[in-house]
C-alpha cells in the first residue's frame, strides 16, 4: 500500500505540475505524461517483484514447516524384504521413489538418485515404486510391467532394465514396447518367462499397490520421493536431497 500511495502522490504531483505548465507549452505536457507513465510502470514492476519475493518466502516457510512435521511424524511406506533395493541393506536412510518410466522429469530424478548413492555409499539405499501416468504416457504402464516381471527373474537384471530405459528414454518415446523388448533381450532376460509374467497377477497387483500407496501419500505427479518418510516432490537438485539426508544422519548419531 505504501508503494501505491507513493505512486498516487507522484502521479498527482506530475499531473498538477503538468497542468500548471499546460499554458506555456504542449511539449511540457507530453513530457509530464511520459514521466507519469514511466513512474507507474517502474512502480508496478517493483510491487510485482516484492509480491513475488514475499510469495517465494511464504512458500519456502510452508515447505519447511511441512518438512519439520514429517521429520516428527514421517510417512510410512511399505518396505518388504522382497522388494528390489540398491545400496547397502542396512543403510540408515531409505529413499523411495514413485516414478514413471516415460516421464522426462523422472529421468532427471533417476540421475540424481544415482549421484546420491555414490555420495552416500553405505548410508543410503533406494527402491523404486510405480506411478505410471497413463493419461499422459502411453508406454508407462507396460514399462512398469516389464520392470516388475523382470524382478521375478533377477533383481540385478531389473536394475539394468530400469537404468537403461531411463537413460535412453527417447527410444521408448519413438518405438514403444519394441524398445522394452530389445532392452530385455540385450541384458539377458528370459523372454518366454517375461511374456508370461507380464500378464501375471503378481505383477499387476504390485503396480496397483504402488499406485494406491502413492495416492495415500498425497502424490499425484512424478517423480515423488520419500527420504526416510520425508517428502521431496519433483526432480529436485541433489542439494535438496542432501539436506534431508544429512538431517536424518545427524539425527541418528
**Confidence tier at 44 by pLDDT (50, 70, 90):** low
Structural domain span for residue 246? 85-251
Q: Domains in the chain: how many in total?
A: 2
pLDDT of 223 strictly over 90: yes
Is 139 in the same domain as 240? yes
By CB neighbour count within 10 A (0-12 exposed, 13-18 middle, 19+ buried), where does 76 fall?
Answer: exposed
Of 119, 184, 113, which Cα lies nearest the Cα of 146? 184
Crossing angle (nearest 10°) for helices 140-153 and 201-216: 120
Crossing angle (nearest 10°) for helices 140-153 and 155-167: 150
Q: Is residue 63 part of a domain?
A: yes
CA–centroid distance for 126 within its chain: 16
Is 99 in the same domain as 52? no
Of 97, 39, 36, which Cα lies nearest the Cα of 231? 97
What is the C-alpha to C-alpha distance for residues 27 and 22, in angstroms, rounded to an integer? 9
Q: What is the largest CA-CA distance in the chain?
A: 94
Of 129, 138, 210, which Cα lies nearest the Cα of 172? 138
Is 199 in the same domain as 241? yes
Chain mean pLDDT for the chain? 86
Of 187, 149, 155, which Cα lies nearest the Cα of 168? 187
What is the C-alpha to C-alpha distance for residues 143 and 164, in angstroms, rounded to an integer? 12
Residue 212 phi, psi dihedral angles, 5° rounding: -65, -40
Q: Is residue 122 part of a domain?
A: yes
- C-alpha distances out from residue 20 to 16, 27, 28, 98, Å: 6, 13, 10, 68
Is 57 in the same domain as 145? no
Instruction: Report pLDDT digits (tens) over 123-134.
Output: 999 999 999 999
pLDDT of residue 60: 78
Instruction: Report pLDDT digits (tens) over 91-115.
Output: 999 999 999 999 999 999 999 999 9
Is 175 in the same domain as 54? no
Beta strands at 124-130 and 93-99: parallel, antiparallel or unpaired: parallel
Is 95 in the same domain as 212? yes
- In this prediction, residues 189-218 reach a mean pLDDT of 98
More confident residue, 41 or 58: 58
Query: What's the CATH number where 243 sits?
Result: 3.40.30.10
* 124, 93 Cβ separation under 8 angstroms: yes
Q: Is residue 206 part of a domain?
A: yes
pLDDT of residue 253: 72
Is 93 in the same domain as 185? yes
pLDDT of residue 47: 61
Amino acid at each position: 500500500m505504501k508503494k501505491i500511495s507513493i505512486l498516487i502522490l507522484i502521479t498527482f504531483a506530475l499531473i498538477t505540475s503538468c497542468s500548471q505548465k499546460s499554458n506555456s507549452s504542449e511539449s511540457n505536457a507530453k513530457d509530464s505524461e511520459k514521466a507519469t507513465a514511466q513512474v507507474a510502470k517502474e512502480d508496478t514492476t517493483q510491487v510485482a517483484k516484492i509480491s513475488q519475493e514475499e510469495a517465494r518466502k511464504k512458500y519456502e516457510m510452508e515447505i519447511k514447516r511441512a518438512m519439520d512435521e514429517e521429520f516428527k511424524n514421517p510417512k510410512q511406506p511399505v518396505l518388504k524384504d522382497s522388494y528390489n533395493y540398491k545400496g547397502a541393506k542396512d543403510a540408515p536412510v531409505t529413499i523411495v521413489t514413485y516414478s514413471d518410466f516415460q516421464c522426462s522429469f523422472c529421468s532427471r530424478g533417476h540421475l540424481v538418485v544415482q549421484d546420491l548413492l555414490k555420495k552416500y555409499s553405505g548410508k543410503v539405499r533406494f527402491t523404486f515404486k510405480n506411478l505410471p501416468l497413463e493419461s499422459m504416457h502411453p508406454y508407462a504402464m507396460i514399462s512398469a510391467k516389464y520392470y516388475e516381471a523382470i524382478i521375478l527373474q533377477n533383481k540385478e537384471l531389473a536394475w539394468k532394465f530400469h537404468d537403461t530405459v531411463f537413460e535412453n528414454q527417447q527410444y521408448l518415446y519413438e518405438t514403444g514396447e519394441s524398445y522394452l523388448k530389445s532392452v530385455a533381450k540385450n541384458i539377458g532376460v528370459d523372454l518366454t518367462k517375461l511374456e508370461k509374467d507380464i500378464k501375471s497377477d503378481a505383477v499387476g497387483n504390485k503396480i496397483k499397490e504402488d499406485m494406491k500407496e502413492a495416492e495415500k501419500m498425497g502424490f499425484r505427479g512424478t517423480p515423488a520421493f520419500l527420504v526416510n518418510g520425508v517428502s521431496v516432490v519433483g526432480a529436485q537438485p541433489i542439494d535438496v536431497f542432501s539436506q534431508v539426508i544429512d538431517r536424518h544422519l545427524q539425527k541418528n548419531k
